[in-house]
Structure 1
Amino acid sequence: MGCGRNCGLLTGVSIGAVLAVFGGALIPVGDYLVKRTIRKEDVIENGTIAYENWVVPGSPVYRQFWFYDVQNPQEVMNGSRPILKQIGPYTYRMRYLPKENITQHPDYTVSYMLPNVARFEPDMSVGSENDTFTCINLAVVAAPAMYQNSFVQILLNTWIKSSKSLMLQTRSVKEILWGYEDPFLKKVLFPVDRTIGVFYPYNGTSDGLYRVFNGKDDISKTAIIQSYKNKSTLSMWAGQCDMVNGTDGASFPPFVKKDRILRFFSSDICRSIYGIFDSEQIVKEIPLYRFSVPRAAFASPLETPENKCFCTETVLSKNCTASGALDISACKEGKPVYITLPHFLYASEDVSENIEGLSANKDEHETFLDVEPTTGFTLRFAKKLQINLLVKPAPKIDALSKLTKSYIFPVLWLNETAIIDDEKAAMFRSKVISPIKLLHLLQVVLIIVGSMMCLVLGVSYFICRSNKLSNKRDYM
């Protein structure tokens, strides 16, 4: 009986050791199985989880707009510093249609167009699209930048005066965003588009053509843009700044690490940008990594030398010493459009000192993406931008002749947001998160149970053996 009991204990120890070893072996095996599954399901090809989420946005995308209402219009037109008050949000639902013209190519790329559509959401807004406010006159302020010849500016001044246009105007939300027929431009005798707006034209148009790697031959290239409008560069900037880098931001190659720099292209700002790891987040029971666009992405070359290729020769900053403002006039048909973060977040004093009424806040005004690290899918994001125009004195144009200096004038700022909806989140948890959790739990349970069996039964074996030897000595 003693031998049988000891043999049973030794057998239990052996089984425990096997379980512990098996649990440990499941770690690399499990990682291999997870990676194998992700390599299959992350490919942008019909029939995969990635494709299902890629064709139609997995989350409703909204754009909230805040407009800057000028509180001292008469003083501003006489050269004083503007005092602004933000009004908003006015919310639109964007990008809720499937991608268009999807074409798989033999070089493991897929091309597509993004349809542009905006639907006003009154329940998520402070008012209606017909609300009006006092803002910069887009056509008048842009005119001297687009037509610098002195004789042409004299003609422009005649048409501006005859249309009774001024530096500032009163317009509705709908007009400023999506376009209105401008009275000054209607007077211009040479061919110009009479309609102007911050996002004109938008509804009924498309963004693209995008062509991205589908990841079938190399999963580390999944969703990375090969070309935009059939080009890998923008023909706007110098050197590396001109490259179309990264993805469109909706997803990234899988197996994202915290030390990775996530690069993505934004046609809104005509450049590629990047995010760095900020924090861990949990959204609808799904663990995510937050990547935020850092201050360095908008810094001057004095602080971040690699930003030198974003410099342009402007009257605002001849030596490119200003931080936080990007001149994108080259991709806006010469209109003096500047992009900043809302309320001039991260902008240097020479940019922000010319405006009153703004108050930058990092938590409220920074851009971030929350990415599920195993798959690389972006499940929540907030893209925040401010649209500004450069105003400068123009002696030959009466409406701008009283200005004493050039400065960036804010028009509006936007917050484009999305978060995975409940249905997609449930699907994601069941097909991605739960299997991974179950595998990890099985690994831990086997290791713990096996180790405990080894420990308890091993100790029991040695106690029994010690007692047996002790009894044997006593008997002798």
Structure 2
Amino acid sequence: MGCNRNCGLITGAVIGAVLAVLGGILMPVGDMLIQKTIKKEAVLEEGTIAFKNWVKTGTEVYRQFWIFDVQNPEEVAVNSSRIKVKQKGPYTYRVRYLAKANITQDPETHTVSFLQPNGAIFEPSLSVGTENDTFTVLNLAVAAAPHLYPNSFIQGVLNSLIKKSKSSMFQRRTLKELLWGYQDPFLNLVPYPISTTVGVFYPYNNTLDGVYKVYNGKDDISKVAIIDTYKGKKNLSYWLSYCDLINGTDAASFPPFIEKTQVLRFFSSDICRKTCIHFTSSFSTCKP
């Protein structure tokens, strides 16, 4: 009985030792194989999992807007009273749902260039109202005219056109008009070949953003999806600080093997600057 017990203990110890040795060998090998597979599939080239998800993201991306509705437009325009506004939102649109276009690989620089089609679909279920909700807002064309043309004679002509078009410092517009564009009655009377459409994001729908050139990760997987140039440039020439640099990704994807301590940097052409995000999900300005 004692022999059987001792034999069992010895056998168990031997098996445990063998498993420990195999685990010590197989775990690093397994990690190595997993990393090798990830590195292969994370490259942005035809046939990889990353490329398929990168061309057209499967994750829904939303953009939300809050509008400030002016409550006392007449008091402000006539008496220069302090403006009173009421915030309303969010109004939500789904964006980045269109596949990248003109995708071109450059094997010499290990980069891939592309254009990003722009489109926005209104999401009623994630919004407080409809695109036809109306707001009293600043008339951008009327407000900008005297600053663009300071000459007194030209301002006199513009004032007459503003009165003739029955425009004023404030106007009533729908959400759809404010964001995506409307024909301005004042600009329609200006006897010069200028654009008569005004909108905060006009033109946006049915346009193309780019050209972007990003690293495909073929030579260095840690650089995959990171922007090399945007419209042929490495900086924007808009800002005086590090905000002017174009670095990070376009936020559609990031390199693999990211640690929680790392700062994710990305560039947004909509706000014409780079920004970053930390693991806590809070946005902040950050240095390169």
Q: Deviations over 1:428-457 (max 9, x none)?
A: xxxxxxxxxxxxxxxxxxxxxxxxxxxxxx
Deviations 1:244-290, CA, capped at 9 Å, x for gaps: 11000111111111221211000011011111221xxxxxxxxxxxx
Q: CA RMSD in A?
A: 2.3
Q: Tell me by how many angstroms 1:101 deviates.
A: 1.0
User: Structure 2 matches for 1:359-398, cutoff 5 A?
Assistant: none
TM-score by length of 1: 0.56
Q: 2:268 maps to what in 1?
A: 266
Partner of residue 257, structure 1: 259
Deviation at 1:144, TM superposition (A): 3.3
- Cα 1:37–1:90 change in 2 (3 A) is same
Report the equivalent of 1:244.
246
Partners of 2:161 and 2:17 lie apart in 1 by: 90
- The 5-angstrom pairing of residues 41-440 of structure 1 reads 41-77=41-77, 78-106=79-107, 107-238=109-240, 240-278=242-280, 291-294=281-284, 296=285
1:295-329 deviation line (CA, Å, top 9, x unaligned) = x55xxxxxxxx79xxxxxxxxxxxxxxxxxxxxxx
Partners in 2 of 1:160 and 1:203 — Cα distance? 29
Report SS of the residue matched to 1:201: coil
Question: For structure 2, which runs of at least 5 residues remain unmatched after alignment?
Answer: none
Amino acid at match of 2:282: S
Distance in 1 separating the partners of 2:196 and 2:178: 14
Superposed displacement of residue 53, structure 1: 0.9
Amino acid at match of 1:91: T
Gap change, CA 1:203 and 1:162, over 3 Å in 2: same
The 1:92/1:14 distance shift into structure 2, 3 A limit, reads same
Paired residues, number: 286
Q: What is aligned with 1:470?
A: none
CA distance in 2, matches of 1:14, 1:146: 87
- Distance in 2, matches of 1:111 and 1:30, equals 34
Displacement, 1:203? 1.4
State the distance in 1 between where 2:137 and 2:188 align.
Answer: 20
Q: 1:16 is paired with a residue of what secondary structure?
A: helix
Aligned counterparts of 1:229 and 1:149: Cα–Cα separation in 2: 36
State the structure with bigger RCO (CA 8 A, min sep 6), 1 or 2: 1
Structure 1, 196-205 or 32-41: larger mean CA deviation:
32-41
Structure 1 unaligned blocks of 5 or more: 279-290, 298-305, 308-476
Whole-angstrom distance in 2 between the partners of 1:261 and 1:95:
23
Determine what percentage of the aligned residue pairs are the same residue: 63
Show the counterpart of 2:38. Answer: 38
With over 3 angstroms needed to count, the CA separation of the structure-2 counterparts of 1:143 and 1:100, relative to structure 1, is same
Matches of 2:50 and 2:156 in 1, distance apart? 57
Distance in 2 between residues matched to 1:84 and 1:175, nearest whole Å: 19
Matches of residues 3-22 of structure 1 in structure 2 within 5 Å? 6-22=6-22
Amino acid aligned to 1:152: I
Return the offset for 1:75: 1.8
Structure 1 residues 25 and 144, CA gap change in structure 2 (3 angstroms): farther
SS at match of 1:85: strand
Amino acid at match of 1:89: P
Deviating more after overlay: 182-191 vs 194-203? 182-191
Alpha-carbon deviations, 1:324-374, whole Å to 9, x = none?
xxxxxxxxxxxxxxxxxxxxxxxxxxxxxxxxxxxxxxxxxxxxxxxxxxx
Q: Name the SS for the 2:278 alignment partner.
A: strand
Report how far residue 3 of structure 1 moved.
Answer: 5.7
1:57: Cα distance to partner?
1.6
Distance 2:3 2:169 in 1: 102
- Paired with 1:255 and 1:151, the residues of 2 have a C-alpha distance of 63
Alpha-carbon separation, structure 2, partners of 1:230 and 1:115: 18
Cα offset, 1:27, TM superposition:
3.8
TM-score, normalised via structure 2 length? 0.90
Deviation of 1:150 after TM superposition, in Å, equals: 4.4
Instruction: Deviation per CA, 1:26-85: give whole Å up to 9, x if none.
Output: 443333222112111111111111112111121222333322111111122232222211
Specify whether residues 31 and 183 from structure 1 end up closer, same or farther in structure 2 by C-alpha distance, changes over 3 A only: same
